Amino acid sequence: MRINKYISETGFCSRRETDRLIESHRITINGVICEAGATVEEGDLVLIDGKPLGSKGELVYLLLNKPAGITCTAAKHIEGNIIDFINYPERIFPVGRLDKASEGLILLTNDGDIVNKMMRSENNHEKEYIVTVDKPFSHSFIDGMANGVEILGVKTKPCKVTRISDNVFRIILTQGLNRQIRRMSKVFGYKVIKLERIRIMKIALANLPRGKWRELTQEELVQLKGMLQ
């Protein structure tokens, strides 16, 4: 089994975080520093920072209303990281990212399998945001955003954009490019001053206060796993 899959299935961290640990030479297999693409056989001793991996316990699925200023990383050395902020008693890690300046819904879990499925399918499922820009916009801005914008060397997928007020709009994406909404808005001469994610697939932020978290309901979890099949 590849080392990324092995570690994610223990719930220690995601495959992406495992790559970072490998790059930092923090993982060993049978006393040898792990390299990218390494495999693990039954009976191998895998250590992270010289310590063995714990076995996967009860699976945890949390929804956090992230405040601005919190960084979506499990890296403990980064000040203001999401793991220290939520201070959950079990080891968990974020599913995907919201950039540091953005707010709203983010999921955290110790289920490496569901993280990998969500990351692979993020371009197929809806994510909804409320966005405030620095000045009033016209209808042509809404049309331009909805029809696709050239950023990062590609044209974004068509999306749903609706006006809320003179300088606030709702946008529903089925894509996850880096800082996508901010980059799209900048093409038309607008700067995003507030960005809040309010929904991922059928999981909604609703009235959860900023900075608070809750466990996913059984209904939400069933829907989530069903959509990832």
Catalytic residue among 44, 99, 134, 166: 99
- Read out DSSP for the chain? -BHHHHHHHHTS--HHHHHHHHHTT-EEETTEE--TT-B--TT--EEETTEEPPPP-S--EEEEEEPTT-B----TTSTTBHHHHH--SS--EESS---TT-EEEEEEES-HHHHHHHHHTTTTS-EEEEEEESS---HHHHHHHHH--EETTEEPPP-EEEEEETTEEEEEES---TTHHHHHHHHTT--EEEEEEEEETTEE-TTPPTT-EEEPPHHHHHHHHHHT-
Instruction: Tell me whether residue 111 is one of the annotated catalytic residues.
Output: no
Q: Which residues are part of the catalytic machinery?
A: 99
